[in-house]
A and B are shown apart, each in its own frame.
Chain A
Amino acid sequence: GESVGLHLPTLSVQEGDNSIINCAYSNSASDYFIWYKQESGKGPQFIIDIRSNMDKRQGQRVTVLLNKTVKHLSLQIAATQPGDSAVYFCAENKNNFNKFYFGSGTKLNVKP
């Protein structure tokens, strides 16, 4: 299968700081990427997406950066809040309807 991995399994940040979660993907044919947030006991929740014709996309307090040259994706969370504590997954799609390959996830701990 596809290999979508994360560099850090756990990230601890202080409340108010910015967080950066990284993801490496292996398939250069992938052209659509999504970041999901999963809180304990819940299903993943869509955060932001980006297509391969873009390098950057911003949402509310979140920014996704895509570097196709090195096949790297990152999620930046500004002014991290305790409610941001969760596991974050990146997922990739290569123009194959809704079949996504998910990374292994990064757990974000926000310290008050």
Chain B
Amino acid sequence: KAGVTQTPRYLIKTRGQQVTLSCSPISGHRSVSWYQQTPGQGLQFLFEYFSETQRNKGNFPGRFSGRQFSNSRSEMNVSTLELGDSALYLCASSLGDRAEAFFGQGTRLTVV
């Protein structure tokens, strides 16, 4: 079965722009979580969606937002990009609560 798909794989944006990243979970998985991974801060939780509802949110500014569609696909948006937003953004899907999470390969965002 297909794994978690994240698009695009690589992205270069300019400071002040906004960006939208996409995540298609494994079929049947209703929980989608997003993480930011940087060398300095490691893996940090951004938010989790389940059945189109945000269930959890991490400690990120309001410039980071997300949503989930009825088919469980999820998007995250970052507005007014800053250099510090450069990171690998990972999406993970799970069948249920506190079940095995399957990660995508991530989207590498570079802000210049």
Residues of A near any B CB (own CB < 8 A): 1, 32, 34, 41-46, 49, 89, 91, 93, 95-105
B70 CB-CB contact with A under 8 Å:
no
Check if A44 sits within 8 Å of B56, measured CB to CB: no
Check if A98 sits within 8 Å of B42, measured CB to CB: no
Q: How many A-B residue pairs have CB under 8 A?
A: 67
A96 to chain B, nearest CB (A): 6
Chain B count of residues within 8 A CB distance of the other chain: 27
Check if B33 sits within 8 Å of A49, measured CB to CB: no
A102 to chain B, nearest CB (A): 4
In the complex, what residues of B have CB within 8 A of residue A41's CB?
A: 105
Contact digits for B58-85, partner A, Cβ 8 Å, 1 yes 0 no: 1100000000000000000000000000
B32 to chain A, nearest CB (A): 9
Given contacts A96-B56, A98-B56, A104-B42, contact A44 B103 (CB under 8 A): yes
